[in-house]
């Protein structure tokens, strides 16, 4: 039996759906649907948060959840893979050969077996049994979702593509994604910094397109706060509690400002692993910042917008982590700029592509609390600098980070590579 003919649905393989920290993906899906793309989501795990952003309700795409656990999901994974093997023995054996060629590079061997089985489950249960008429598969993140995407595309006889973001590029041996680039129809990434890196390690003819995530500018207007800031100044950070965000640098910078007699309150929005949360709380106590720091945990996007309307400065201390991980351009930086909140950050990775130093914000080197304290203080107290940077930042975001325009650009990339779009 031959695989099904090329259909009209774009399959999106995601690590998890929905995820609070990945509004850029849900916004992308929502806007691609508005362009006429028919999308089916394949999630490698069930939601882990007990709430989701309101925009999720606007997405029409159906979701298939792949068995997450190799132990608990093994009966279903083996059953559907056996059925697929009996249906497409040559193609299935070819995919096993592809997996074997990559197996020696796998740090955790059992997970790559799981990804192969998840791919077989996707094709047999969704395409063969349920009749989802896939015409193209796209994975978000260059590591495990794209591994599943690549195997599923091979098994279904379909072209595939993927989006490379940040951690998925820089924390793994390049050999683990260069072969994916070579097999892909095209690759998308979200910063020029990433694009340069990918082109430097991938000696291949596969097109690599840079498209920023963008934000929904309809949600952001100037916060209407008085032009003059007055103490106690409100400093805001929204970030996952991971080393690359440099939260420890921020706390040490704020302690310096406190010691200089600057009256501050600091809101740190986000969450992380227990050990990371514990380390942050211990540092807050060690620095004597308990009275000025608020940690509300993970909040809705509406609450982030409300906090931006109260903030005098937004700050991030991004760095290159010891494992190579680093940020791209965090969307919340663009959201702060769109709201009229000046940004003090570090000159790491793609950040200078949006926050141009002394033009649309202020930047300093990473891991330098004194330097970060200096630019935060300048944004809080230097009125001419605020008057100059805030409107320039808003204008830049509107010019280069409008997600409606950027998704049209992304949609046109899909169309140029013959990805089906029934609405066109």
- Looking at residue 51, what is its pLDDT? 57
Residues 61, 128 within the same domain = yes
Would 270 be classed as within a structural domain?
A: yes
Residues 195, 284 within the same domain = no
- Looking at residue 18, what is its pLDDT? 86
For position 246, which CATH number holds? 3.40.50.2000
| Side-chain half-sphere CA neighbours of 119 within 13 A | 32
Number of domains in the chain: 2
- Looking at residue 111, what is its pLDDT? 78
Residues 52, 199 within the same domain = yes
- Looking at residue 225, what is its pLDDT? 63
- Looking at residue 107, what is its pLDDT? 65
| Domain region containing 203 | 9-214+403-416
Residues 190, 246 within the same domain = no
Residues 151, 249 within the same domain = no
Would 379 be classed as within a structural domain?
A: yes
In 3D, which of 411, 421, 396, 414 has the Cα closest to residue 215? 396
- Looking at residue 227, what is its pLDDT? 66
Would 362 be classed as within a structural domain?
A: yes
Residues 113, 223 within the same domain = no
Would 3 be classed as within a structural domain?
A: no
- Looking at residue 356, what is its pLDDT? 98
Residues 112, 148 within the same domain = yes
Would 89 be classed as within a structural domain?
A: yes
Residues 69, 208 within the same domain = yes
In 3D, which of 156, 98, 119 has the Cα closest to residue 42? 119
- Looking at residue 383, what is its pLDDT? 94
- Looking at residue 158, what is its pLDDT? 97
Would 34 be classed as within a structural domain?
A: yes
pLDDT tens over the chain, length 424 residues: 344 446 899 999 999 998 876 788 998 999 999 999 999 999 999 887 665 666 788 999 999 999 998 889 999 999 999 999 999 999 999 999 999 888 776 666 667 789 999 999 999 999 999 999 999 999 999 999 999 999 999 999 999 999 999 999 999 888 889 999 999 999 999 999 999 999 999 977 899 999 999 999 999 987 766 567 899 999 999 999 999 999 999 999 999 999 999 999 999 999 999 999 999 999 999 999 999 999 999 998 899 999 999 999 999 999 999 999 999 999 999 999 999 999 999 999 999 999 999 999 999 999 999 999 999 999 999 999 999 999 999 999 999 999 999 999 999 999 999 999 998 8
- Looking at residue 23, what is its pLDDT? 81
Residues 135, 179 within the same domain = yes
Would 69 be classed as within a structural domain?
A: yes
- Looking at residue 3, what is its pLDDT? 40
Residues 166, 286 within the same domain = no
Would 1 be classed as within a structural domain?
A: no
Residues 209, 221 within the same domain = no
Residues 203, 319 within the same domain = no
- Looking at residue 87, what is its pLDDT? 97
């Amino acid at each position: 039996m031959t695989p099904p003919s090329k259909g009209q649905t774009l399959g999106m393989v995601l690590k998890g759906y929905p995820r609070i920290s990945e509004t850029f993906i849900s916004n992308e899906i929502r806007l691609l649907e508005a362009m006429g793309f028919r999308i089916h989501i394949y999630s490698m795990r069930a939601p882990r948060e007990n709430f989701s952003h309101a925009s999720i309700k606007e997405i029409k795409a159906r979701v298939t959840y792949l068995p997450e656990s190799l132990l608990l999901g093994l009966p279903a994974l083996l059953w559907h893979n056996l059925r697929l093997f009996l249906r497409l023995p040559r193609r299935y054996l070819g995919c096993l050969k592809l997996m074997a060629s990559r197996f020696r590079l796998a740090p955790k061997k059992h997970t790559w077996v799981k990804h192969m089985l998840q791919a077989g489950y996707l094709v047999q249960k969704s395409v063969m049994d349920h009749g989802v008429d896939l015409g193209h598969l796209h994975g978000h993140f260059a590591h495990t979702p794209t591994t599943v995407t690549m195997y599923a595309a091979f098994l279904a006889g379909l072209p595939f593509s993927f989006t490379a973001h940040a951690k998925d590029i820089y924390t793994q041996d390049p050999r683990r994604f260069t072969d994916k680039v070579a097999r892909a129809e095209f690759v998308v990434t979200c910063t020029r910094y990433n694009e340069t890196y990918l082109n430097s390690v991938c000696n291949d003819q596969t097109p690599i397109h840079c498209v920023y995530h963008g934000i929904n500018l309809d949600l952001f207007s100037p916060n209407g706060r008085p032009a003059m800031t007055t103490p106690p100044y409100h400093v805001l950070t929204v970030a996952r509690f991971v080393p690359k965000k440099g939260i420890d640098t921020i706390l040490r910078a704020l302690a310096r400002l406190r010691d200089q007699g600057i009256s501050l309150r600091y809101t740190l929005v986000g969450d992380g692993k227990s050990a990371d949360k514990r380390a942050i709380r211990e540092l807050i106590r060690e620095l004597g910042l308990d009275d000025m720091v608020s940690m509300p945990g993970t909040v809705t996007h509406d609450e982030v917008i409300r906090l931006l309307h109260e903030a005098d400065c937004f700050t991030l201390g991004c760095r290159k982590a010891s494992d190579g991980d680093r940020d791209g351009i965090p969307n919340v930086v663009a959201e702060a700029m769109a709201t009229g909140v000046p940004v003090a950050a570090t000159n790491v990775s793609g950040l200078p592509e949006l926050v141009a130093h002394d033009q649309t914000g202020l930047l300093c080197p990473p891991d330098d609390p004194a330097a970060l304290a200096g630019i935060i203080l300048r944004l809080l107290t230097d009125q001419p600098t605020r008057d100059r940077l805030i409107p320039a930042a808003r204008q830049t975001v509107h010019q280069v980070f409008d997600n409606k325009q950027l998704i049209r650009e992304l949609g046109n990339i899909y169309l140029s590579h013959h990805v089906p779009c029934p609405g066109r």
